[in-house]
Copies of this chain bind each other. A is one copy, B any other.
Amino acid sequence: MPTAELSYQEAKELLIQAWGTLGSHWGINKTMAQIHALLLISPESLTTEQIMEELHISRGNANMNIRALMDWGLIHKTHKPGDRKEYFSSEKDMWEITRQIARERRKRELQPVIKVLGQVENIKDDRTAHTKELKQVTKELKFLVGKADSFLNMVTGFDQSRFFNFLLRLKK
């Protein structure tokens, strides 16, 4: 059975929904991801009003999630001459978006955990099996989370062409 061609509207809703679901697996709430998807596929920048209408959400909700997206560095505020409203637009370069997400997740998730693991590693050794196991597990956990941190740090340092080389080598 061949896949039916989707209309623009159907495709747009599917994409916004899919991006929302993926986002919610990544500690980003659904609305935040949906606003991001909407701005990502919009050729022009949009006002809060337009975002509210398009996604059927309240002003407060729109405002809050727009600010969160700006905190993540994924969207930006712009102005139009002779217009008092604020317009929002997404960074469109997919690699830049990837780098920005890598940068924020390192800072928000990995680094706090690495700090805690460092403390736990410092436990007083009373030579019991339980303490031994806790120390061993913590050491291995810290090693692995540390590697993930280095990897994301590397991503933020790479430019696009180095990234493409990296992808090529991934092929096998």
Interface residues of A (CB under 8 A from B): 3, 5-8, 11-12, 14-15, 17-18, 21-22, 24-27, 40-43, 92, 94-95, 98, 105, 108-109, 112-113, 116-117, 119-120, 122-124, 126, 128-134, 137-138, 140-141, 143-145, 147, 150-151, 154, 164, 166-167, 169-171
Residue in chain B with minimal CB distance to A13: B120
Q: Is the CB of B7 within 8 A of A124?
A: yes
Q: Which of A22, A92, A109, A117 has the most CB of B within 10 A?
A: A22
Q: Is the CB of B154 within 8 A of A170?
A: yes
Q: Is the CB of B94 within 8 A of A141?
A: yes
Chain A interface helix/strand/loop/mixed = helix
Q: Is the CB of B133 within 8 A of A41?
A: yes
Complex-state Cα separation, A136 to B53, whole angstroms = 24
